[in-house]
Amino acid sequence: MQDQLNKTSAAEPLTIDTLKYGPPVGHLELRTLICGILQRTIMSGLHVTPENLVMSNGATAVLDNLFHLLGDAGSSCLLPAPCYPVFDNDLGSRNDVKTWQVYLERPDTDANVLDAAKRAAESARKPPRALLISNPDNPTGTIYSEERMKGFLKWCIRKKMHLVVDEIYALSVFPSASSARPFRSIIEIASEMAESLPPQQVEILWEHLHVVYALSKDFCMSGAELSPLAC
């Protein structure tokens, strides 16, 4: 990215607006540009507006802020194992939300495994408030199928749990032998699913779904620490 950034900054020097305080959710101009990128890539064909986005300093800060809002101290978040180990810090260090690892085996047993994990966490007095999925997954590289993601969504709607999908590797995916487009953003999947749900469930869905993205991986700009949260 260095060559590209050098060219851009030479052509468009910093203005005073860039250096001043802006809206806490991020400059409108930046959010508009990010909307454009999202609509050209992982959220193509969807109506994403700057009002749907909150910007922060990297996915780490987004997760920290998000779980500050979603989880009470002492609550937990279900998370498929093995997982990106820094989630423990992102959720726990300020907010005291515990990661509760679940061992998912097959799509047809996911709901039962999640039910059992929820019961176990509740018995341990760590009631889960959310399910956190990293898709594409770090560290396994797994791309969850659309059917499986729908299953997670349905489970969260049924339980009124938040579903947080970390899509930080969304554009670092290559066509496979079996599929030209192996990854789909949960926003696309949820939008399609919403068309056949009763209005009450649609409301629960949009209130409980949160997507985290960042420039750290796909744009090789981890030091820029820019990250949108779509909600």
Ligand X SMILES: Cc1ncc(COP(=O)(O)O)c(C=O)c1O
**Choice between 56 and 76, CB closer to ligand X:** 56
Q: Which of 166, 170, 187, 208 is close enough to bind ligand X by CB under 6 A?
A: 166
**Choice between 142 and 222, CB closer to ligand X:** 222
Which residues touch 183 (CB under 8 Å, ≥6 apart)? 42, 135, 136, 143, 170, 173
Q: In what order do the strands lie in the sheet with 209-212?
A: 53-56, 227-230, 209-212, 162-166, 128-134, 76-80, 98-102
Using CB positions, name the residue nearest to ligand X: 58
Q: Which of 48, 133, 165, 168 is close enough to bind ligand X by CB under 6 A?
A: 168
Pair 74, 50: CB distance under 8 Å:
no
The least CB distance from residue 89 to ligand X, in Å, is 10
**Choice between 60 and 157, CB closer to ligand X:** 60
Is residue 171 classed exposed, middle or buried when 0-12, 13-18 and 19+ CB atoms within 10 A define those classes? middle
- Token pair 């744009």 is found at 219
Tokens standing for 171?
Answer: 């554009």
Near ligand X in 32-61, by CB under 6 A: 58-60
The least CB distance from residue 195 to ligand X, in Å, is 29
99 forms part of the interface with ligand X (CB under 6 A): no
- Rule CB under 6 A: which residues touch ligand X? 58-60, 84, 134, 138, 166, 168, 214, 216, 222, 227
